[in-house]
Amino acid sequence: MNTVTAPAEPRPAVPAKKSGGFTAAASNYIDERTSISTAVKELGRKIFPDHWSFLLGEVALYSFVIILLSGTFLTFFFDASMAEVHYDGSYVPLKGVEMSAAMASTLDISFDIRGGLLMRQVHHWAALLFVASIGLHMLRIFFTGAFRKPRELNWVIGFVLFILAMAEGFTGYSLPDDLLSGNGLRIIDGMVKGIPLIGTWTSFLLFGGEFPGTAIVGRLYSLHILLLPAIILVLIALHLLFVVVHKHTQYPGPGRTEQNVVGFPILPVYAAKAGGFFFIVFGVVMLIASLFTINPVWNYGPYDPSPVSAGTQPDWYIGFADGVLRLAPPHLDVVLFDHTFSFGILIPLTLVGVFIMLVLFYPFIEAWITGDKREHHILDRPRNAATRTAIGAAGVTFYAVLWAAASSDIIATHFKLTMEGVIHTLQVLLFLGPVIAYFIAKRTCLALQKKDRSIALHGYESGRIVRLPGGEYIEVHEPVDDFERWKLVSHESYQPLMIRPDSRGRITVAQRARAVLSRWFFEDRIDPITRAEIESSNHH
Amino acid sequence: MPRTTSPSASKSRKARRRGPLATISLLAVGLLFTGGAYAAFSTSTASAEVPAVVSAASVEEGEKLFAANCASCHGLALEGTENAPSLIGVGAAAVDFQVGTGRMPMQAHGPQAPDKPVQFTDEQILSMAQYVASIAPGPAIPDESLLDGEGDVANGAELFRINCAMCHNVAGAGGALTEGKWAPSLSGVEPAHIYEAMVTGPQNMPVFNDANLTPEDKRDVISALKFMEENPSPGGNQLGSLGPVAEGLFLWIFGLGTIVAITVWITARSN
């Protein structure tokens, strides 16, 4: 901790010949040459609070390591070429079929290379887990308000990582050049071509000519194994650096303040737990990969632009983008000045773009509305930030409807519904669902706050009914202990901002908008209990 | 535990644990467990039932059955009514498919007649088929030689992907159509019924006549489907062959669910 004493550190280790043995000698040798003890001391005493939801980001990190390891194995055998070959491997139903070298090598990995299929499945399942754990991690950050100052930039980095993970996933999904991946690329091609003026040119640039061309697999491969992983690695490093710099957030509790962090030091407890957890995550992925098929390219067969299989969908994390296209109403193409404007593509793209931007910049939007410039290291319980939780619920609903739309055909067949019925319902839900979710979440939060308040003031219901001498029945309420009560009363309450004229005595439009938004955020609130209230409640 | 057992017993147990057979038996238990789990997960459906050859079937018998069970909708002279199409010229293959898979007699009007338990014996079905075929010529029940599943699997799989997969899904798992109709799953369907469906085009399915797909091509398609059925995925359970939606749902519920349960366990405080 104290940097002044650090240089003197190695000295006592030298005479201690008898106590340490090889370990001490070796660590001393390394330390004398690298001065690593300062870093170990500093990092080793870093405190991490213990809560299950704080491990979700770690799951993402570990999945990424698994992806790197299994992906490296796959690069040994994958041939990212669209040269035409006749498959001559051991899978009978494709014998002699003409396909690209990429597809043939994927089949070889699956059927003829020892451990290849397992590695393919590990890679793919870990990729799904990677994006899913990032998603869950982000939801935790959002609903606990962990993105507030000083962590706004880390939210942005994390969200960019989420987008990059999706890009990694999509480029990887397209590499085997099977029917499913070709169909996915065709949709991307269609979306690109739907952009006015530059669309067609961009598509030709991307595919090196008319779709599908003979270049796209090689190009996606370069992105998939070189550029995107490199950017992701750098951003992960930055992301973790910020975690160290900012220190970890913690849930409210007795003894936890904005100035301290209560938890375990990295060494030895946390490092042991986290290291063990890596192997557990690896084990779970291994188990899933060895028991469950993922992306059976041998069923899909080589890409051919004519067939499109029923049930063609992207991997789950691209589902929202597929869903928004499925929900777009038909007949929206408009011809203006000799150019076709495909609003059936442009409207969904804009909708998704706006949604992504809102999520990306949410920390700044909320900070502007609340006007809160203080640092926050204590997390909000979601119920205590009712409006934010409600906004989050609305966003999750919006995303979930898009996601569900990507499986509209599966919903129709498996729940015996009509395809049109499913689509129309989801179209309505896309706009109505978030509103309903918003109000339900907000009212639920406020109700929970009220419940907390009554528990803190009057204790919890003990279930014991007592008959008073006068004949009246009452239920005995037991007071909560001080530790529990701390959690219930230690949050802050915000008041809506008042409109104030600026230095020139004017009230700007931005000010007015801010006041309206602030009122929307904080008008409905339940103030936390004051000390006086607690004391007065203790008397009766 | 160690307190209750005598020192010699615990020593012998330790010796047993370190014995040369211990590793082997542990491996055997492990292999047995994983093998058993694999066997439980890979469902093998191998039922190549050959339809019984019927000798006593007759057109008269079929006519009676038709009048009793079909004529109320299809008309006594097969001319059709406003509830059901004419059956003149549909051939024996159509009858064998529709009645043989339980789709007919239809139980209720709906977007589509679903398959259900078969209502007649093979003999009765054949009688009705012969009766319908006797009124006007149409596609016949296919010859056994086309249904043996010994055709060119690679050609069949390619034809299936090009002609069938857009409705039935590449793995034959079925898919959605418009207005509540659907393309059914093809797993467990008799080869004869697959062939008959191709030549007669039941319900929403298009007809694949012999000029479009030769009988040999149809044999290949059937062979490819049977190959898929008899050779379950080398990668493990296929999650219904429904594609990435099923995989994503599985990952979120079971993959991430397991992981979250483990995070809770790791951070649980001992009481």
At B271 the pLDDT is 56
Which residues pair with residue B81 across a beta bridge? B84
- Residue-level length of chain A: 540
B234: three-class secondary structure by DSSP? coil
At B270 the pLDDT is 63
| Residue B164 marked ligand-binding | yes
**Which stretches does DSSP call E strand in A447-518?**
460-467, 473-478
Q: Among A110, A276, A299, select the one facing B171 at the smallest CB separation.
A: A299
Q: Quick one: average pLDDT of A61-86? A: 96
Query: A122-152, pLDDT tens digit by residue?
Result: 999 999 999 999 999 999 999 999 999 999 9
**CATH number for position A250:** 1.20.810.10
At B38 the pLDDT is 60
Rank A11-20, A523-532, B234-243 by mean pLDDT and report only the highest: B234-243
**Rounded to whole angstroms, what are the CA distances from B159 to A41, B156, B212?**
66, 5, 11
Contact A310 B157 (CB under 8 A): no
Q: Report how many domains make up chain B.
A: 3
Give the count of alpha carbons within 13 A of B65, CB side only: 24
Q: Quick one: average pLDDT of A109-117? A: 95
- The C-alpha atoms of residue B17 and residue B28 are separated, in whole angstroms, by 15
Residue A3, C-beta contacts closer than 8 angstroms, at least 6 positions apart: A38
- B250 chain-A contacts, CB cut-off 8 A: 292
Regarding whether A322 and A232 lie in a shared domain, the answer is yes
Q: Among A51, A306, A315, select the one facing B248 at the smallest CB separation.
A: A315
Domain membership of residue A38 (yes or no) is: yes
The verdict on whether omega for the bond into residue A15 sits within 30 degrees of 0, i.e. cis, is: no
Q: Among B162, B259, B264, select the one facing A307 at the smallest CB separation.
A: B162
- Report chain A's mean pLDDT, rounded to a whole number: 90
**Confidence grade of residue A72 (pLDDT, cut at 50, 70, 90):** very high
A67: its two tokens: 């992806």
Is residue B27 pLDDT above 80, yes or no?
no
- Residue-level length of chain B: 271
B51: three-class secondary structure by DSSP? coil
Q: Evaluate whether B178 touches A419 at the Cβ level (below 8 Å).
A: yes
Residue type (1 letter), A318: I
- The C-alpha atoms of residue B199 and residue A363 are separated, in whole angstroms, by 62
Better-predicted residue by pLDDT, A282 or B4: A282
H or E segment and range at residue A185: helix A179-193
Q: State yes or no: ipTM above 0.85.
A: yes
Torsion-angle region of A340 (φ positive above 0: left; ψ -120 to 50: alpha; else: beta): beta
User: How far is the first Cα of chain A from the last one, in angstroms, to the nearest whole number?
Assistant: 49
**Confidence grade of residue B46 (pLDDT, cut at 50, 70, 90):** very low
Residue of A418, A426, A483 to mutate when probing chain B, most B C-beta within 10 A: A418
Which residues pair with residue A467 across a beta bridge? A473
Domain membership of residue A135 (yes or no) is: yes
**Confidence grade of residue A41 (pLDDT, cut at 50, 70, 90):** confident
Instruction: Choose the weakest-confidence range: A165-169, A231-235, B132-136.
Output: B132-136
Domain membership of residue B157 (yes or no) is: yes
Is residue B54 pLDDT above 70, yes or no?
no
The whole-model pTM stands at 0.86
Q: Domain residues for B228?
A: 151-188+203-234
Residue of A99, A309, A396, A409 to mutate when probing chain B, most B C-beta within 10 A: A309
Regarding whether A375 and A482 lie in a shared domain, the answer is no
Domain membership of residue B22 (yes or no) is: no
Regarding whether A77 and A12 lie in a shared domain, the answer is no
Regarding whether A118 and A99 lie in a shared domain, the answer is yes
- A277 chain-B contacts, CB cut-off 8 A: 262-263, 266
Regarding whether A452 and A357 lie in a shared domain, the answer is no
At B40 the pLDDT is 56
Of all residues in chain B, the percent with pLDDT exceeding 90 is: 48
At B35 the pLDDT is 63
B167: its two tokens: 């409705």
B143: three-class secondary structure by DSSP? coil
Q: Closest Cα partner for A28 from A41, A9, A42, A43?
A: A9
Regarding whether B155 and B136 lie in a shared domain, the answer is no
Contact A52 B37 (CB under 8 A): no
- B182 chain-A contacts, CB cut-off 8 A: 412-413
In this structure, is the dihedral angle defined by the CA atoms of residues A251, A255, A258 and A264, taken in order, positive or negative?
negative
Q: Closest Cα partner for B156 from A301, A123, A308?
A: A301
Query: A171-183, pLDDT tens digit by residue?
Result: 999 999 999 999 9
Better-predicted residue by pLDDT, B130 or A528: B130
Q: Domain residues for A310?
A: 47-380
Better-predicted residue by pLDDT, B205 or A12: B205
Spacing of C-alpha A312 from chain mean position: 25
Q: Quick one: average pLDDT of B19-43? A: 65
Q: Closest Cα partner for A144 from A63, A57, A58, A62?
A: A57
Q: Among A281, A316, A413, select the one facing B244 at the smallest CB separation.
A: A316
Is residue B97 pLDDT above 90, yes or no?
yes
Regarding whether B249 and B225 lie in a shared domain, the answer is no
Of all residues in chain A, the percent with pLDDT exceeding 90 is: 66
Regarding whether A17 and A59 lie in a shared domain, the answer is no
Regarding whether B112 and B63 lie in a shared domain, the answer is yes
- The C-alpha atoms of residue A31 and residue A24 are separated, in whole angstroms, by 10
**Rounded to whole angstroms, what are the CA distances from B185 to A405, B108, B172?**
22, 21, 6
Domain membership of residue B131 (yes or no) is: yes
Regarding whether A87 and A27 lie in a shared domain, the answer is no
Contacts across the A-B interface (CB distance below 8 Å): 200
- Report chain B's mean pLDDT, rounded to a whole number: 83
Domain membership of residue A77 (yes or no) is: yes
Q: Report how many domains make up chain A.
A: 3
B41 to chain A: nearest residue by CA?
A291
Q: Among B236, B246, B255, select the one facing A290 at the smallest CB separation.
A: B236
Domain membership of residue B25 (yes or no) is: no
Instruction: Choose the weakest-confidence range: A39-43, A82-86, A323-327, A473-477.
Output: A39-43
Instruction: Choose the weakest-confidence range: A443-447, A491-495, B134-138, B218-222.
Output: A491-495
- B37 chain-A contacts, CB cut-off 8 A: 291
Query: A9-31, pLDDT tens digit by residue?
Result: 445 545 545 567 899 999 899 99
CA–CA min distance A100, chain B (Å)? 15
Written in H, E and C, the secondary structure of A282-297 is HHHHHHHHHHECCCCH
Burial code (b: 16+ CB inside 10 Å, e: under 16) for A157-181 equals bbbebbebbbbbbbbbbbbbbbbbb
> Using alpha carbons only, how large is chain B's radius of gyration in Å?
27
**CATH number for position B63:** 1.10.760.10
**Confidence grade of residue A50 (pLDDT, cut at 50, 70, 90):** confident
Is residue A8 pLDDT above 50, yes or no?
no
Better-predicted residue by pLDDT, B37 or A113: A113
Domain membership of residue B225 (yes or no) is: yes
Contact B252 A316 (CB under 8 A): yes
At A273 the pLDDT is 87
Regarding whether B84 and B68 lie in a shared domain, the answer is yes
Domain membership of residue B195 (yes or no) is: no
- The C-alpha atoms of residue B124 and residue B263 are separated, in whole angstroms, by 62
Q: Evaluate whether A103 touches A176 at the Cβ level (below 8 Å).
A: yes
Query: A497-509, pLDDT tens digit by residue?
Result: 888 887 888 888 8
At A269 the pLDDT is 82
Domain membership of residue B20 (yes or no) is: no
Burial code (b: 16+ CB inside 10 Å, e: under 16) for B228-238 equals bbeebbebbbb
- A407 chain-B contacts, CB cut-off 8 A: 245
Domain membership of residue B66 (yes or no) is: yes
A349: its two tokens: 């793209």
Regarding whether A275 and A165 lie in a shared domain, the answer is yes
- The C-alpha atoms of residue A284 and residue B257 are separated, in whole angstroms, by 11
Domain membership of residue A521 (yes or no) is: yes
Regarding whether A309 and A206 lie in a shared domain, the answer is yes
